[in-house]
């Protein structure tokens, strides 16, 4: 499976046509990738899966190692069918990881409605920002360095809060995650539209992570402000 598009190939479509194809294929694969995520989450909830049952710091580092290992393999094989298989395996793994916060949410009497609200909010953010970024005259690709710096700061703050466990800092991190990864939706879709990303496997991985993090951040905020105990 060749998931890249050679612009120099004789008889190839125009650049605009190829960009539209990459965007269309990205959305299709993104939809498919949600299936193993949901399956992984449901299995994790049934098993009461918890990756962070031991040392939170060591577990977090192990999680990052597994996640970055998957992402390295996906990027290494993005022009082959193996890249798609690894992507779907990664989304299953992320579904398992998602099951922990879903278990916490379901511990509230209004857990189901909070999860639905977070999912609906994430969908609204994605479709709104993706529509904005799909307008070719609007170029958001210049935000990359700023957003990457924001991710590093959030990551460092998250590691620090593993030790300090400050509720206010946790809320600030969740709000920052929603803001940064919402902006990343603009950035990643704009890269496709502007021709900066020509591989739909890489594009799907980026947009998937955007959506995943927005959902987790939103759910954390919703639980903090609207969670109801029996």
- CA of residue 191 relative to chain centroid, distance: 16
Say how far apart CA 58 and CA 75 lie, in whole Å: 26
Residue among 102, 124, 127 nearest 115 (CA): 102
Half-sphere exposure of 58 (CA within 13 A, CB side): 3
Better-scored residue on pLDDT, 122 or 58: 122
Q: How far from 54 is each of 22, 66, 137, 156, CA to CA, in Å? A: 42, 16, 50, 20
* pLDDT band, residue 10 (cuts 50/70/90): very low
Mean pLDDT (whole number) for 28-39:
97
Q: Write the DSSP string, 60-87.
A: HHHHHHHHHHHHHHHHHTTTSHHHHHHH
Q: Which two tokens stand for residue 69?
A: 């290992």
CA angle 61, 209, 98 (to 5 degrees): 65
The pLDDT of residue 52 is 67
**Please, which pLDDT band fits residue 49 given cuts at 50, 70 and 90?**
confident
- Map 148-186 to HEC letters: HHHHHHHHHHHHHHHHHCCHHHHHHHHHHHHHHHHHHHH
Rounded average pLDDT over 16-27? 88
Residue 206: pLDDT band (50, 70, 90) is: very high
Give whichever of 133-137, 197-201, 219-223 has the largest mean pLDDT: 219-223
pLDDT for the residue 172: 96
pLDDT tens across 59-92, in order? Answer: 888 999 999 999 999 999 999 999 999 999 999 9
CB count in 10 Å sphere of residue 204: 28
Report the pLDDT averaged over residues 190-210: 93
Is pLDDT above 70 for 2? Answer: no
The pairs formed by 82-90 with CB atoms below 8 angstroms and a separation of 24 or more are: 83/1, 83/3, 83/201, 84/1, 84/3, 84/29, 84/201, 87/29, 87/33, 87/201, 87/204, 87/205, 87/208, 88/32, 88/33, 88/36, 89/36, 90/205
Residue with tokens 């580092």: 61
Taking residues 20-39, report their average pLDDT. 95
Write down the pLDDT at residue 7. 40
pTM: 0.90
Length of the chain: 230
Q: How confident is the model at residue 54 (pLDDT cuts 50, 70, 90)?
A: low
Q: How far apart are CA 200 and CA 192, in angstroms?
A: 9
- Three-class secondary structure of residue 198 per DSSP: coil
Q: Compute the radius of gyration of the chain from its Cα atoms.
A: 18
- Which pLDDT score is estimated for 13? 54
Question: Domain limits of the chain?
Answer: 15-226
- The pLDDT confidence band at residue 1, using thresholds 50, 70 and 90, is low
């Amino acid at each position: 499976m060749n998931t890249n598009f050679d612009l120099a190939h004789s008889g190839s479509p125009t650049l605009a046509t190829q960009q539209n194809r990459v965007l269309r294929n990205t959305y299709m694969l993104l939809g498919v990738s949600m299936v193993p995520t949901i399956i992984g989450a449901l299995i994790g909830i049934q098993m009461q899966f918890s990756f962070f049952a031991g040392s939170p710091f060591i577990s977090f580092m192990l999680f990052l190692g597994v996640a970055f290992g998957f992402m390295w393999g996906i990027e290494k094989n993005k022009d082959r069918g193996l890249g798609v298989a690894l992507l779907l395996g990664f989304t299953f793994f992320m579904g398992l990881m998602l099951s922990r916060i879903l278990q916490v949410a379901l511990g509230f009497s209004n857990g189901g409605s909070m999860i639905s609200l977070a999912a609906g909010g994430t969908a609204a953010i994605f479709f709104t920002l993706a529509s904005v970024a799909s307008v070719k005259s609007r170029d958001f690709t210049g935000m990359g360095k700023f957003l990457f710096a924001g991710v590093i700061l959030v990551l460092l703050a998250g590691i620090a809060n593993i030790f300090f466990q400050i509720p206010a800092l946790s809320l600030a991190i969740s709000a920052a995650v929603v803001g940064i990864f919402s902006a990343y939706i603009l950035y990643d879709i704009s890269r496709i539209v502007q021709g900066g990303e020509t591989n739909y496997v890489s594009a799907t991985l980026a947009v998937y992570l955007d959506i995943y993090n927005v959902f987790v951040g939103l759910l954390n905020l919703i639980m903090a402000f609207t969670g109801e105990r029996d």
